[in-house]
Structures are given as C-alpha cells and as structure tokens.
Amino acid sequence: MRLRRTLALLVSVVILCVPLVGCQEKEDMVATPQRFVYDYEAKKAVASSRQAMRIELKQVNVGTMFPVRILRSLSSKTALVGDTFPIEVLEDVTVDGVVVIPVGSGGQGRVIEATPAKTMGKAGRLRVAVEFVCSYDGAVVPVEANEQTAARDEEVVGKTVLWYVFVGPLGLLSLLEKGQDVVVPADSQFYVMVRSQAVVNGRVY
C-alpha cells in the first residue's frame, strides 16, 4: 500500500512539473558582433588631427554604400518601437577624392518593431531601420539598410541575425529556439546606403 502511495505521489509531481518546464525562459539569442573593418579607431585618430587644404561642395549620390557600426546593444526584450540608437561611420566616404562623410561621423537608427519572447515558447521579434549619418558642419545624409546592403553584409560576414533584423523577420524564427529574445550586440558592423541625394561641404586633405 505504501509503495502504491509513493508511486502515485511521484506521478503527480511529474505531471505538475511538465508544464513548468515548457514555461521556463530561454537564454537570449546573442549574436557575435559581426566585424569586418578593424582599423577604424586608427583612422579616427588620424582624421581628428588632419587639416583640410580646401572645402568643396559635393553631391553624395543615392546608392553610395559604406560601413557603420551600432554603438549600443539592442534586444527584443527591452526595446520599444520608436527607440533610437547611435551609429558611427567606419571609413571615409569620398566623391572625386573629396571626403564628404568622414570616418567617426555619427548617425541614428530607430526600432520599428519589438516584441519580447513569450513564456509559452514564442520567440522575440526585432526590426530596426537606420535613418541618417552626419557629414561635416552637421549636414544630414539620409541612409538606409535594405536588401542590397544586406547582400553586401552577407558577402563579407555571412547571413546573421542582424541580416534578418534589417531585412525583415521572415526566416528569423528558424535561427531561434522557442522563447528566445533577439539580441544585436554593440559594435556590430553593417553596410548602409544613401537613400536620397545630399549636397555637403566636403574636405580636401
């Protein structure tokens, strides 16, 4: 009789625990920062001390592509739609030998979709957009990340979580375990593209 009671108690405990296992939070899906430009700090140091020989008015054309990096991490667990985040240009952008966007220039992106992971196993969702970078004298150059820039990213680092975060969530769930949040770490690098023409005062060094 005592053995039957013991077995019944064990079965009851197992039945009660099974649902709880499915409700446990998963560890976040943290991507390794994707990097392909490694000398930008040295380039920034040089750029900060150089003296321009002259200033020239130049047009930055639509489709001009260059690398940037995210300066703080993003997570579907904590991000809110409308949140902005800083980005930084990693290489000089030139037009006819004139620097129109210098290395180290700042810019901004924005969260356009953020849904935290659910306790019942639904993975988080995160989508972001980049909006602009600044040139000399605070001139704003509108930029974007799109299928073309994502394809360029894929050429140099492969298809990562960041690829899906920019292009869209389709297929992202195949990379995540149930209940995981999407995390893009700080210092992740990627390409952006000028989305509308800008005229800026460039520098000749």
The pLDDT tens digits of the residues spanning 192-204 come to: 999 999 999 999 9
Residue 137 scores a pLDDT above 90: yes
* Cα–Cα distance for residue pair 204/153, rounded to 1 Å: 29
Coil, strand, or helix at residue 131? Answer: strand
Report whether 143 contacts 195 (CB < 8 A): yes
Residue 8 scores a pLDDT above 50: no
Residue range of the domain that includes 87: 25-204
Q: Evaluate whether residue 9 is within a structural domain.
A: no
Region 8-21 average pLDDT: 36
**What is this structure's pTM?**
0.82
Which residue has tokens 């409308």?
82
Which residue has tokens 């992971």?
117
Q: Evaluate whether residue 66 is within a structural domain.
A: yes
pLDDT band for position 30 (cuts 50, 70, 90) = low
Number of domain units in the chain: 1
Choice between 124 and 2, residue whose per-residue pLDDT is larger:
124
Q: Evaluate whether residue 8 is within a structural domain.
A: no
Q: Evaluate whether residue 60 is within a structural domain.
A: yes
Q: Evaluate whether residue 45 is within a structural domain.
A: yes
Beta-bridge partner residues of 86: 108
Beta-bridge partner residues of 109: 85, 130
Q: Evaluate whether residue 7 is within a structural domain.
A: no
Choice between 21 and 83, residue whose per-residue pLDDT is larger:
83
Residue 19 scores a pLDDT above 50: no
* Cα–Cα distance for residue pair 124/136, rounded to 1 Å: 38
Q: Evaluate whether residue 17 is within a structural domain.
A: no
Helix (H) or strand (E) holding 129: strand 125-134
Q: Evaluate whether residue 19 is within a structural domain.
A: no
**Which H, E and C letters describe 100-151, residue by residue?**
EECCCCEEEEEEEEEECCCCCCCCCEEEEEEEEEECHHHCEEEEECCHHHHH
CATH number of residue 73's parent domain: 2.40.128.260
